[in-house]
């Protein structure tokens, strides 16, 4: 096919992969970096780009006239994907998907099933860079000095779902918990458990097996071995049980003591820094030249007493991530209270030469709210709220959904009253009930036989005519369904996992609108009934895939 004009080529291949719609538009325009977005006003089409504004400015041309010329020539090729391609002031090009293309996507979803939504990382609304390969997501990593709090839970759910999304986007993902089972904090805890009083200490003591508590004196005398035993007890009897309760499965529990300290990795990092002239002596301590890498001040690696700092151990840990385990990308998810550590750790990773492969996400604070006011779930002193207490109150699914509803860079109020609701006011109940309703419709209709049947000459579901799907609510629902691959792709690039719960709510609203406007079971029109049941099945698949990515149950009955 000859070019429409200099710089604009026509694509001729009829690619049915929905996650490639934006890529197809860029290909049509021959503008690989074009921003392709969904207009807020549906009257402007399904996709839109302002790329011509920049191009016209560069070439000294009128943007609207230029957009009109390009849109006219694109439309003249009668691409079956699009019903309309139009220019709009001041220089946009708007694309409206054709009903026939939309109907084809129902068959595509039924064929792809649980794999629908999976993409190759790199496809995004803004054409961002590829971010595939081997990715480590490290999250929670709370010191093993007690049970996990609500703040730990927010980072835990976020990190778990981000890992799921990156896997759906084609990356090899390792979810990791860094266990700080060595150092001063463990020695202090041993003293506290042995001698201390108070609600928190009593909770810790009650959680441990009796034999562990009875040997507190012995563990303390044992020194480092005792702290490791104590850390293991807390990890096993508190942290790991809570992590499992949240529905999180870590691939690696990385021990600071056994993997770094006992293997001499801390000493190696000190030697490495000295050999690279990145460390110097001052005031009987060893300092890292952190200001060379953008930090506000240099940081101590080894204290006056010869003990390595937390920063020194962190440095050894990150050297292990990049140089020994060779992750292509590392994502650390920390609580906002660790913001002071960001520059120093990023600076060290830059010194290693992996600046562009390392990211730190800070989770802002979360508080439990009841009747519009901060609350606690027990009579314990202090303001902390334990994950276990909230899970017992509302369950895993509600806990995870609520934790995912806000961007990590915003403070969050966890509305306990709303979480307890067993009605459509509760967004989790609203979504799960819709899924159960779809399953009920399908059970009564026998759609399973249609969806699971295969024709002899293709891999598409057997003998379903999708032509009857023409009602605006049907087409609007299909447009919602085919957004899942884009949601996965964009989230894999910018890590904004709150898109998922919002998408699930939008999808359910679209389904309810369809169900209200369109009679699914019509005894007088078999073809229409089959096509609408197929649309229900496609909705079930996409909603289940969305819930699965969030680690939330898809309940067939409620």
Convert 381-403 into a string of H (helix), E (strand) and C (coil).
CCCCCEHHHHHHHHCHHHHHHHH
pLDDT for 55 beyond 50: yes
Q: No. of H helices and E strands in the chain? A: 24, 15
Spell out the CATH class of 18-97: alpha beta
Listed in sequence order, the residues at least 6 apart from 261 whose beta carbon sits closer than 8 Å to its beta carbon are 182, 313
pLDDT, tens digit, 9 for 90 and up, residues 293-351: 999 999 999 999 999 999 999 999 999 999 999 999 999 999 999 999 999 999 999 99
Q: What are phi and psi of 387, to 5 degrees?
A: -55, -45
Q: What is the 8-class DSSP label of residue 303?
A: -
Q: What are the extents of the domains in the chain? A: 18-97, 132-261+364-420, 427-550
Using CA atoms, how far residue 77 sits from 72, 96, 222, 556, in Å, is 9, 15, 80, 45
Q: Using only the alpha carbons of the chain, give its radius of gyration.
A: 28
Mode of pairing for the β-strands spanning 329-335 and 358-363:
parallel
Sign of the torsion formed by the C-alpha atoms of 525, 527, 533 and 538: negative
pTM of the model: 0.89
Q: What is the mean pLDDT of the chain?
A: 86
Provide, rounded to the nearest whole percent, the portion of the chain with pLDDT above 90. Answer: 72
- d(CA 315, CA 311) in angstroms, rounded, equals 6
Task: Tell me which H or E stretch contains 282.
Answer: strand 279-282
Query: pLDDT category, 1, cuts 50, 70, 90?
Result: very low
pLDDT-wise least confident of 123-127, 238-242, 258-262, 470-474: 123-127
CATH architecture assigned to 427-550: Orthogonal Bundle (1.10)
Q: Would you state the pLDDT for residue 502?
A: 98
pLDDT, tens digit, 9 for 90 and up, residues 432-456: 999 999 999 999 886 554 544 443 3
Q: Would you state the pLDDT for residue 5?
A: 29
Instruction: Name the packing angle between helices 396-403 and 427-445 (round to 10°).
Output: 120
Length of the chain: 558
Task: Give the CATH H-level superfamily of domain 132-261+364-420.
Answer: HUPs (3.40.50.620)
Mapping DSSP onto H, E and C, the string for 117-141 reads: CCCCCCCCCCCCCCCCCEEEEECCC
Q: Would you state the pLDDT for residue 127?
A: 42
> Do 96 and 84 meet the contact criterion of CB atoms below 8 Å apart?
yes
**Strand, coil or helix: 538:** helix
For 290-439, strand residue ranges (E) read: 299-302, 329-335, 358-363, 366-370, 373-374, 412-415
Higher-scoring residue by pLDDT: 129, 327: 327
* Average pLDDT rounded to a whole number, residues 236-263: 94
- d(CA 547, CA 545) in angstroms, rounded, equals 6
pLDDT for 9 beyond 80: no
Listed in sequence order, the residues at least 6 apart from 466 whose beta carbon sits closer than 8 Å to its beta carbon are 103, 104, 106, 107, 531, 534
**Strand, coil or helix: 22:** helix
pLDDT for 550 beyond 50: yes
Question: Which one, of 398, 407, 535, lies nearest residue 109 by Cα?
Answer: 535
Task: Tell me which H or E stretch contains 179.
Answer: strand 172-179
Using CA atoms, how far residue 283 sits from 287, 302, 308, 361, in Å, is 10, 11, 15, 34
pLDDT for 190 beyond 80: no
């Amino acid at each position: 096919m000859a070019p429409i004009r200099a710089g604009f080529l026509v694509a001729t291949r009829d690619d049915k992969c929905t996650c490639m719609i934006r890529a197809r538009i860029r290909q049509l325009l021959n503008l690989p970096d074009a921003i392709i977005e969904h207009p807020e006003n549906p009257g402007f089409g399904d996709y839109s780009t302002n790329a011509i504004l920049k191009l016209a400015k560069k070439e000294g041309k009128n943007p609207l006239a230029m957009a009109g010329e390009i849109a006219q020539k694109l439309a003249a090729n009668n691409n079956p994907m699009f019903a309309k391609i139009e220019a709009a002031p001041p220089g946009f090009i708007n694309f409206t998907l054709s009903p026939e293309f939309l109907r084809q996507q129902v068959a595509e979803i039924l064929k792809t099933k649980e794999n629908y939504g999976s993409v190759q990382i790199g496809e995004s609304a803004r054409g961002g860079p590829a971010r595939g390969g081997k990715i480590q997501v490290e999250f929670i990593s709370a010191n093993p000095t007690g049970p996990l709090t609500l703040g730990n839970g927010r980072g835990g759910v976020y990190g778990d779902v981000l890992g799921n999304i990156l896997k759906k986007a084609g990356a090899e993902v390792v979810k990791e918990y860094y266990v700080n089972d060595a150092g001063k904090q463990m020695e202090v805890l041993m003293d506290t458990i042995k001698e201390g009083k108070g609600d928190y200490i009593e909770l810790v003591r009650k959680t441990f097996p009796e034999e562990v508590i009875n040997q507190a004196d012995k563990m303390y005398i044992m020194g480092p071995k005792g702290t490791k035993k104590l850390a293991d007890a807390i990890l096993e009897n508190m942290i790991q049980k809570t992590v499992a309760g949240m529905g999180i499965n870590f691939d690696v529990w990385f021990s600071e003591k056994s993997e770094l300290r006992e293997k001499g990795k801390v000493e190696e990092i000190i030697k490495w820094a000295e050999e690279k002239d990145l460390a110097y002596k001052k005031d009987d301590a060893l300092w890292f030249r952190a200001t060379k890498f953008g930090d506000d001040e240099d940081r101590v690696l080894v204290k006056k007493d010869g003990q390595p700092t937390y920063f020194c151990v962190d440095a050894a840990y990150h050297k292990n991530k990049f140089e020994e385990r060779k992750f292509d990308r590392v994502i650390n998810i920390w609580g906002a209270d660790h913001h002071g550590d960001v520059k120093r750790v990023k600076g060290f990773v830059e010194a290693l030469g992996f600046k562009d492969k390392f990211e730190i996400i800070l989770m802002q604070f979360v508080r439990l709210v009841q009747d519009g006011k901060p609350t606690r779930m027990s009579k314990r002193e202090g303001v902390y709220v334990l994950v276990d207490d909230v899970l017992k109150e509302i369950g895993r699914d509600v806990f995870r959904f609520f934790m995912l509803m806000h961007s990590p860079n915003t403070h969050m109020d966890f509305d306990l009253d709303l979480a307890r609701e067993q009605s459509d006011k509760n967004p989790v109940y609203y979504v799960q009930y819709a899924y159960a309703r779809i399953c009920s419709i399908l059970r009564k209709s026998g759609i399973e036989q249609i969806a699971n049947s295969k024709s002899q000459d293709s891999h598409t579901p057997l003998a379903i005519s999708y032509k009857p799907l023409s009602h605006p609510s049907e087409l609007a629902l299909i447009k919602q369904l085919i957004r899942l691959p884009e949601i996965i792709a964009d989230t894999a690039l910018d890590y904004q996992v709150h898109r998922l719960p919002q998408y699930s709510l939008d999808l359910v609203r679209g389904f309810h609108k369809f169900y209200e406007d369109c009679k699914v079971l019509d005894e007088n029109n078999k073809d229409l009934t089959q096509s609408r049941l197929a649309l229900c099945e496609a909705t079930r698949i996409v909603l289940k895939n969305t819930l699965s990515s969030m680690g939330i149950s898809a309940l067939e009955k409620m």
